[in-house]
Amino acid sequence: MSFIRRAFLQKRVKGEVGMTNHQHTWRDYALIVLPYLWMILFFLLPFLIIFKISLSVSEIASPPYSPLVTFEDGAMQIILHLENYTFIFTDPEGTYIRSYLKSIQVAAFSTFLCLIIGYPIAWALATAKPAMRNVLFMLVIMPSWTSFVVRIYAWMTLLKRDGLINDILMAVGIIDHPIQMLQTDFAVYVGIVYCYLPYMVLPLFSALMKVDYSLIEAAYDLGCRPIKTFFNTLIPQTKSGILAGSMLVFIPAIGEYVIPELLGGKNSILIGRILWQEFFNNRDWPLASAVAIVMLIILVIPILIFYKIERKEQEGLNARK
């Protein structure tokens, strides 16, 4: 009996829930092996290596870090350096701690901005006429298919001191001298919102497509005010979309490098920039690795939330089948 058919049968009989693995043949594993091995080799293993390197110290060598395991006089020596971690937390200038906090703040606020901007957009898309919806959907997605750097570059030209926005504001007479927009946190927010908005809109859109709009009508019929209706009917129904979208914006924004580098100023030292500098400019790989590990620890909860949503989605869809 072929493995595909067995998979079908299992699905039929057990309804996909509580399925066990003991009946899988070598064929199943043959299918799994390529993607699985690939991901383990090039995705899971690297994190172990990051962890390993974060426990060593920088050396002028190739590779530029001290070996973890050394052989001296025939005896194996394992030297674990925790200096990198202690340095991150006890740095006299507090650069690392500050940039972590700054990253979290920027990421959280831009996630919030994306949410309040993205929600109406997703709503407008989801409730538009089907033919119109396709066009609008494509139009909203299209910018994210153009080059990321190019999009940031576009905002640079707009936000410059002699850029278009300043020109227009001066011409209208709102301001009489150009205001500094580029190299501020404002520019970073604009950049993040501009680049990550589609990642927020997409899950919200698919969540809003599933919403039972008769509930809203019912709420109105029962005399519910619009704001209360929104919070009591729409928000609960789109919770998973809100969470997924927020995670899709928040997690990458934490480590964002390009946007603060190009649009941000001296104040916009986010942790991604620190990591990059440590790695490329200072060539301190162990410290960069430690920075990455701490960042991962910060991100564990958001990643797990996202993973759970993904899992639920997968199981929900499978069960529905």
Q: E strands, 73-220, where? A: 75-78
Phi, psi of 270 (to 5 degrees): -95, 165
Q: Which is nearer to another protein, 92 or 174 (CB)?
A: 174
Residue 39 as a binder of another protein (CB under 8 A): the answer is yes
Binding region for another protein (CB under 8 A) out of 68-76, 86-94, 227-235, 243-251? 243-251
DSSP 234: I
Q: Tell whether residue 215 is a contact of another protein (CB under 8 A).
A: no
Out of 26, 147, 177, 281, name the contact with another protein by CB under 8 A. 147
Q: 173 in helix, strand or coil?
A: coil
Is residue 256 a contact partner of residue 263, using CB atoms and an 8 Å limit?
no
292 binds another protein (CB under 8 A): yes
Q: Does 154 bind another protein (CB under 8 A)?
A: yes
Least CB distance to another protein at residue 213 (A):
11
The single residue listed with the structure tokens 């039972």 is 212
DSSP H/E element including 310: helix 285-320
Name the nearest CA neighbour of 140 among 166, 114, 110. Answer: 114
Interaction between residue 219 and another protein (CB under 8 A): no
**Token couple for 49:** 């290596």
Q: Which is nearer to another protein, 63 or 73 (CB)?
A: 63
d(CA 271, CA 98): 9
Does 182 contact another protein by CB under 8 A?
no
Output 5 or 92, the one with its CB closest to another protein: 5
265 interacts with another protein by CB under 8 A? no
Residue with smaller CB distance to another protein, 90 or 314: 314
